[in-house]
């Protein structure tokens, strides 16, 4: 029966143990004296012990009651504090959390699971996934237009926090269907030196170099051509026309397929890592909650 003890029954007992008077206890708790008596009897029944000796003249604690008060008093206070803090967090986590992505359609199952878990635990707050422009790496994040974002590694920005890894993807090369490389089963970095490689404006050098180095392992220069575009569709058209080749990742092939474009595995480049990132000074409750869920979920997945 002890498993069914309720928090309010413990509260009534602890106040009664202080007051040793049913009327004063009832007044402090905003209850009737009969309700105080009923709550005490229920607690004693569930514990199988008499906690209070009561006569028409006085109220005293039994030895079991004294022991129970000593053991449960501090624990009750800690539990109430934890419940209150959790309740306050629940009230604070409300509104909309804005997650930026350069390819919103490619947000994968792992991150969708994090979003679902966050919204299930915080019914007053929703997550909105916002498509970012092609060259917007951190501008929207720094201006506060989004709360956190997905981006590729590597980068080194002191004002930003690198969060958990969301995905690791194989590298592929996008080429026109009639390109000299289109019939190959795989390519290497050395092959890139023979062709113009698309180089989008706005990319920071660390990320750009990770997708396409300035030279091959043997030292041959790679011709990186600045495109002057801000839209993925324009990039695909340039690849389809054979103007450029474009090193990218496997999800790009899935979400930006084109009948005149082939995607070929690049064998000698490591997987591209995508991470969550946010402003270092952003301590909003919704952010803390989302990041905590993301860290646990993504870590468990990796483990």
Q: Which tokens is 278 given?
A: 């946010």
3-state secondary structure of 232: helix
- Read off the pLDDT of each residue in 24-34 and give the average, rounded to a whole number: 91
pLDDT reported for residue 227: 72
Give the closest residue to 43 by CA, choosing from 17, 74, 7.
7
In sequence order, what are the residues at sequence separation of 6 or more whose Cβ sits closer than 8 angstroms to the Cβ of residue 42?
Answer: 9
Q: What is the pLDDT of residues 95-136, one digit of tens each?
A: 899 999 987 776 888 899 999 999 998 888 999 999 887 666
Q: Where are the domains of the chain?
A: 2-90, 95-167+273-302, 171-270
Backbone angles phi, psi at 8, to 5 degrees: -65, -30
Q: Which tokens is 185 given?
A: 């089963």
Give the closest residue to 264 by CA, choosing from 177, 190, 138.
177
* pLDDT tier, 303 (very low <50, low <70, confident <90, very high otherwise): very low
In sequence order, what are the residues at sequence separation of 6 or more whose Cβ sits closer than 8 angstroms to the Cβ of residue 93?
Answer: 122, 124, 125, 285, 286, 289
CATH architecture of structural domain 2-90: Orthogonal Bundle (1.10)
3-state secondary structure of 227: coil
3-state secondary structure of 301: helix
pLDDT reported for residue 271: 93
Task: Report yes or no: 169 and 150 within 8 Å, Cβ to Cβ.
Answer: no
Q: Which tokens is 241 given?
A: 């026309």
How far apart, in whole angstroms, are the C-alpha atoms of residue 44 and residue 29? 19
Same fold flag, 2-90 and 171-270: no
How far apart, in whole angstroms, are the C-alpha atoms of residue 212 and residue 246? 9
Residue with tokens 């000796």: 53
How far apart, in whole angstroms, are the C-alpha atoms of residue 271 and residue 54? 74
Query: Hey, which residues does 221 pair with through a beta bridge?
Result: 215
pLDDT reported for residue 243: 92
**pLDDT over 70 at 229, yes or no:** no
Full-prediction pTM beyond 0.75?
Answer: no
Query: Hey, which residues does 247 pair with through a beta bridge?
Result: 173
Task: Report yes or no: 158 and 279 within 8 Å, Cβ to Cβ.
Answer: no
pLDDT reported for residue 231: 67
Q: What percent of the chain has pLDDT over 70?
A: 91
The CATH code of the domain at 171-270 is 3.40.190.10
Fold of 95-167+273-302: D-Maltodextrin-Binding Protein; domain 2 (3.40.190)
**pLDDT over 60 at 300, yes or no:** no
């Amino acid at each position: 029966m002890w498993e069914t003890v309720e928090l309010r029954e413990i509260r009534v007992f602890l106040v009664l143990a202080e007051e040793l008077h049913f009327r004063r206890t009832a007044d402090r708790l905003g209850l009737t004296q009969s309700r105080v008596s009923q709550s005490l009897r229920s607690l004693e029944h569930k514990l199988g012990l008499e906690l209070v000796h009561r006569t028409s003249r006085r109220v005293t604690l039994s030895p079991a009651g004294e022991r129970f008060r000593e053991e449960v008093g501090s624990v009750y206070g800690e539990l109430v504090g934890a419940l209150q803090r959790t309740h306050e967090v629940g009230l604070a986590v409300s509104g909309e959390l804005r997650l930026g992505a350069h390819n919103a359609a490619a947000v994968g199952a792992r991150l969708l699971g994090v979003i679902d878990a966050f919204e299930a635990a915080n019914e007053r707050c929703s997550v909105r996934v916002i498509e970012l422009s092609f060259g917007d790496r951190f501008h929207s994040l720094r201006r506060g237009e989004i709360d956190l974002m997905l981006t590729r590694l590597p980068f080194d920005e002191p004002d930003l926090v690198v969060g958990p890894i969301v995905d690791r993807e194989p590298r592929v090369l996008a080429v026109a269907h009639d390109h000299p490389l289109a019939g190959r089963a795989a390519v290497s970095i050395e092959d890139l030196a023979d062709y113009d490689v698309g180089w989008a404006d706005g990319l920071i050098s660390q990320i750009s170099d990770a997708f396409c180095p300035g030279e091959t392992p043997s030292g041959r220069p790679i011709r990186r051509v600045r495109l002057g575009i801000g839209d993925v569709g324009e990039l695909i058209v340039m690849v389809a026309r054979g103007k450029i080749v474009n090193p990218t990742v496997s999800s790009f092939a899935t979400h930006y397929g084109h009948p005149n474009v082939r995607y070929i595995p690049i064998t000698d480049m490591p997987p591209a890592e995508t991470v969550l990132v946010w402003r270092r000074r952003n301590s909003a409750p919704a952010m803390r909650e989302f990041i905590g869920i993301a860290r646990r979920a993504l870590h468990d997945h990796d483990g």
